Amino acid sequence: MTPRAHSLIAGLRRVERGLDAIIQPVVFMAMAALIGVITLQIISRVLFTAVEWTEEVARFLLVWLTFLAGTLAFQRGRHIAVTFAVDALPARLRQLARLLATLVVLAFLIALAVISVEYMQVQSFQKSAALRVPMSYVYAVVPFCAAVMAWYALVDAVELIFTGDTHEPRETPS
């Protein structure tokens, strides 16, 4: 690998680590907030009058939490994958198959980001029932996470092209 390619990959990895450093604490805070809101909801229903906004906030937090945590799982290579056929290929064909799969995922994520931005624009007039916040704030997680995952897929594709492998952890079969 040339020094220029090594420098490019190092720069891409730095951005990837930066994104991870932002998303990971947000996921933690969203989980803590979700636990707090659900606890408030239970206590208020049992002891007092139900707090109206808690159900909606819990739902929105769960949506954001799901997409953001899914993004972290994607970055770590933790989404489900059936790799026995690819693993059985010779090294060069295995690299080519992984690159092709990564490019397909990248194309899908870019399409998802574009379509979800269009959907947000179409639904921009809609407001949530209890909080009256624009639903586009809730839907914004989809293009954001699709774009971040597309970045992660791009980094993987560049690594596959230059090094033949990615830095993501691979689990060994048991």
Predicted local distance difference test score (pLDDT) of residue 171: 43
139: in domain: yes
171: in domain: no
Q: Judge whether 72 and 23 are in contact, CB under 8 Å.
A: yes
User: pLDDT tens, position by position, for the chain (174 residues)?
Assistant: 788 888 999 999 999 999 999 999 999 999 999 999 999 999 999 998 888 899 999 999 999 999 999 999 999 988 888 888 888 999 889 999 999 999 999 999 999 999 999 999 998 899 999 999 999 999 999 999 999 999 999 999 999 999 877 665 444 344
51: in domain: yes
98: in domain: yes
pTM of the shown model:
0.87
173: in domain: no
Predicted local distance difference test score (pLDDT) of residue 34: 97
The number of distinct structural domains making up the chain is 1
25: in domain: yes
Give which of 128, 172, 117 is closest to 150, Cα–Cα: 117
Residue by residue, what is the 3-state secondary structure of 99-121? HHHHHHHHHHHHHHHHHHHHHHH
Q: Which domain holds residue 126?
A: 3-163
Tokens of residue 123, six digits: 């639904």
Any bridge partners for residue 168, and if so which? none
168: in domain: no
